[in-house]
């Protein structure tokens, strides 16, 4: 997958607009389960949240384990289906086109929620049709969206043009919009509070590094594990951010760009991961596409995971986000590293069989059913 990121002018007039007329969405009831956490886990009191099922019309408060908190981007993905990429100066016709909710942050949040783990999303959208599309998609997926801000002042929702080829591979051009502008210089106490009460925090690089640094610092201060997906802007990652990341998750091309090292063979990937260790990240989770994935923990042997073949590959958009979020859910539930990799591989296999990013996120039952047969 190739991606290009564009950011809008910073001279936009930004202000938050309170979202009204929200209809509570039905989400799967979450049972209270005791999960083992890392030894450095914070012992904060669990957040108060709500559970609904189809037989009840009122929200019932329940006490649940510290949630997955995703801080990141929300995009409207504008799909164009093509046989091949156009050459320079060439105009070609698309076979089809549609607009679906996406963005790495929104994708990962929806994945966590659809896997029946309590998930909050902190992000920004514009007060426009694309913003409403994303908000509705998040809420219908079960994501807690009270930390999603809708911005007025003509700020557009971030969007991406996804050029989807017939073999399921894609190239993407991203317009940052609200994702890259109008974040406050200092995040609110409310945003940082939910971060500090998380089980795991997930970050990506489709929002400003300054926001990620604030979030990662707050999480580390509370003993919360931070997973950083390397996808997004093609620029060096600030060392100040890496200092507060527990698990760094690039794909092989991102790993190569960020380390300046070749990543064509597994030995080369291992050497590049070792460089990440020297940069302060103790665990590197590398997504290898058709070659599977590998987890490199400093001082330990790499753990490899093959792909779980899909019956048919329709769209690889969102597969990496599904993998990372599924790994995070399995990890916060106390599964072993090997089990986390296998769970994530199964979720990614189901994801690529459905068109779109958010629409393709699998539910827990589907993932567990697949794992019974592989």
Task: Please report, for residues 118, 126, 198, 203, 214, the alpha-carbon distance to residue 41 in angstroms, rounded to integers and kept in the order given.
Answer: 17, 35, 10, 18, 19
Distance from chain centroid for Cα 288:
17
Residue 3 in 3-state DSSP?
strand
Task: Please report, for residues 153, 183, 185, 191, 288, the alpha-carbon distance to residue 188 in angstroms, rounded to integers and kept in the order given.
Answer: 20, 10, 9, 5, 37
Q: Which of 127, 128, 246, 321 is catalytic?
A: 321
Residue with tokens 């809008």: 8
Residue with tokens 């049709």: 129
In SS3 terms, 106-160 reads as HHHHHHHHHCCCCEEEEEEEECCHHHHHHHHHHHHCCCECCCEEEECCCCCCEEE
Residue with tokens 């527990």: 246
Phi–psi pair at 128, nearest 5 degrees: -145, 180
DSSP code at position 177:
G
Phi–psi pair at 347, nearest 5 degrees: -65, -45
In SS3 terms, 44-79 reads as CCCCEEEECCCCCCCCEEEECCCCEEEECCCEEEEE
Within 8 A by CB and 6+ apart from 91, the residues are: none
Tokens coding 258: 């960020």
Q: Please check whether residue 8 is in contact with residue 153, taking contact to mean a CB–CB distance below 8 angstroms.
A: no
Q: Please check whether residue 286 is in contact with residue 251, taking contact to mean a CB–CB distance below 8 angstroms.
A: yes
Packing angle of the helix pair 252-259, 266-278 (nearest 10 deg): 50
Q: Give the C-alpha separation, 8 to 23, whole Å.
A: 31
- In the residue annotation, 315 being an active-site residue is answered as no
Q: How many residues does the chain have?
A: 374
140 forms beta bridges with: none
Catalytic residues: 321
């Amino acid at each position: 997958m190739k991606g290009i990121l564009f950011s809008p002018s910073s001279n936009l007039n930004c202000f938050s607009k309170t979202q009204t007329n929200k209809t509570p969405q039905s989400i799967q009831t979450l049972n209270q389960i005791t999960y083992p956490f890392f030894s450095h886990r914070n012992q904060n009191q669990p957040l108060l949240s709500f559970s609904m099922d189809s037989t009840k019309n009122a929200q019932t408060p329940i006490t649940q384990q510290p949630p997955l908190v995703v801080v990141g981007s929300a995009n409207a993905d504008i799909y164009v289906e093509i046989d091949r990429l156009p050459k320079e100066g060439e105009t070609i016709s698309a076979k089809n086109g549609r607009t679906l909710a996406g963005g790495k942050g929104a994708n990962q949040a929806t994945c966590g929620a659809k896997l029946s783990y309590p998930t909050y999303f902190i992000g920004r959208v514009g007060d426009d049709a694309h913003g409403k599309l994303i908000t509705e998609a998040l809420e219908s997926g079960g994501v807690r969206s009270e930390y999603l801000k809708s911005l007025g002042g003509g700020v557009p929702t971030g969007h991406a043009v996804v050029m989807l080829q017939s073999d399921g591979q894609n190239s993407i051009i991203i317009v940052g919009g609200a994702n890259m502008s109008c974040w406050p210089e200092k995040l609110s106490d409310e945003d940082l509070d939910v971060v500090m009460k998380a089980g795991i925090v997930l970050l990506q690089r489709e929002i400003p590094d300054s926001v990620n640094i604030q979030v990662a610092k707050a999480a580390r201060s509370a003993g919360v594990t931070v997973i950083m997906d390397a996808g997004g802007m093609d620029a060096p990652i600030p060392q100040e951010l890496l200092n507060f990341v527990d698990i760094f998750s690039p794909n092989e091309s991102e790993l190569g760009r960020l380390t300046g090292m070749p990543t064509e063979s597994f030995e080369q990937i291992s050497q590049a991961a070792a460089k990440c260790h020297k940069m302060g990240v103790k665990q590197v989770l590398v997504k290898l596409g058709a070659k599977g994935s590998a987890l490199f923990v400093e001082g330990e042997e790499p753990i490899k995971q093959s792909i779980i073949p899909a019956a048919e590959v329709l769209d690889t958009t969102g597969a990496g986000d599904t993998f990372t979020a599924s790994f995070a859910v399995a990890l916060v539930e106390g599964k072993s590293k090997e089990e986390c990799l296998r769970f994530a591989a199964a979720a990614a296999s189901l994801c690529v069989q459905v068109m779109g990013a958010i629409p393709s996120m699998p539910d827990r039952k589907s993932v567990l059913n697949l794992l019974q047969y592989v």
